[in-house]
């Protein structure tokens, strides 16, 4: 019986289990997110989180200790470079396990394990939700102020639209007045021309009669 035995052997001997944890750790550090069975993900979290805590102190001793577990120089560079900067302010809990359901072939329960600080989409949503939880009054005042600003902006837009409509109506009226004046001028010019032509005809007739 396994009273007090918290180690999940995963159906493997110790050497095989150590090699499995090393390969899964290297894959997680390289890709920042991997998919495996739920049992392996839980064991990997217990295995890799102490290593991530150790990579916060960049010393020769810590580098040699991590190299004894991971056996890859490029992984060590990634740990003490990009990853150590991301997790510097996090006091533990560097990984997240998300259940994905059951595998089709053997119905094994699958899960995704990822590094928390490298999921930017989930982190932005969580920060927004925490802000709204901590300050409800501030959020309500912010919403009221935003609604007021939106109403003011809409009223300004409406006033501008009305002003533009009035300006366009005035312009249209002025153009109509100008057109009417032009018609009157053309009519008067035509009438004067007709009068001049009639006077010329009368004079020509009179001259012809005198002759």
Tens-level pLDDT at each residue, the chain (211 residues): 879 888 889 999 999 999 999 999 999 999 999 999 999 999 999 999 999 999 999 999 999 999 999 999 999 999 999 999 999 999 999 999 999 999 999 999 999 999 999 987 776 655 555 555 555 555 555 666 676 676 677 667 767 777 777 777 666 677 777 777 777 887 777 777 777 777 777 777 777 776 5
pTM over 0.75: no
Q: How far apart are CA 115 and CA 31, in angstroms?
A: 9
**Chain CA centroid to CA 198, Å:** 83
Strand-pair category, 33-37 with 95-102: unpaired
């Amino acid at each position: 019986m396994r009273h007090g035995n918290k180690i999940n052997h995963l159906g493997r001997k110790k050497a095989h289990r150590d090699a499995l944890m090393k390969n899964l750790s290297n894959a997680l550090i390289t890709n920042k997110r991997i998919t495996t069975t739920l049992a392996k993900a839980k064991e990997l979290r217990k295995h890799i989180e102490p290593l991530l805590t150790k990579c916060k102190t960049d010393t020769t001793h810590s580098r040699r200790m991590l190299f004894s577990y991971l056996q890859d120089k490029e992984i060590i560079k990634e740990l003490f470079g990009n990853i150590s900067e991301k997790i510097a302010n996090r006091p533990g809990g560097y990984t997240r396990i998300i259940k994905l359901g059951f595998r089709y072939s053997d119905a094994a329960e699958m899960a995704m394990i990822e590094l928390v600080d490298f999921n930017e989409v989930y982190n932005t949503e969580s920060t927004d939700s925490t802000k709204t939880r901590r300050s409800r009054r501030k959020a309500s005042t912010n919403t009221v102020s935003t609604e007021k600003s939106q109403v003011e902006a809409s009223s300004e837009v409406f006033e501008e639209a009305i002003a533009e409509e009035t300006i366009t109506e005035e312009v249209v009226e002025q153009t109509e007045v100008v057109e009417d004046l032009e018609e009157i001028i053309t009519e008067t010019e035509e009438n004067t021309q007709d009068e001049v032509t009639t006077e010329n005809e009368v004079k020509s007739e009179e001259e012809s009669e005198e002759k």
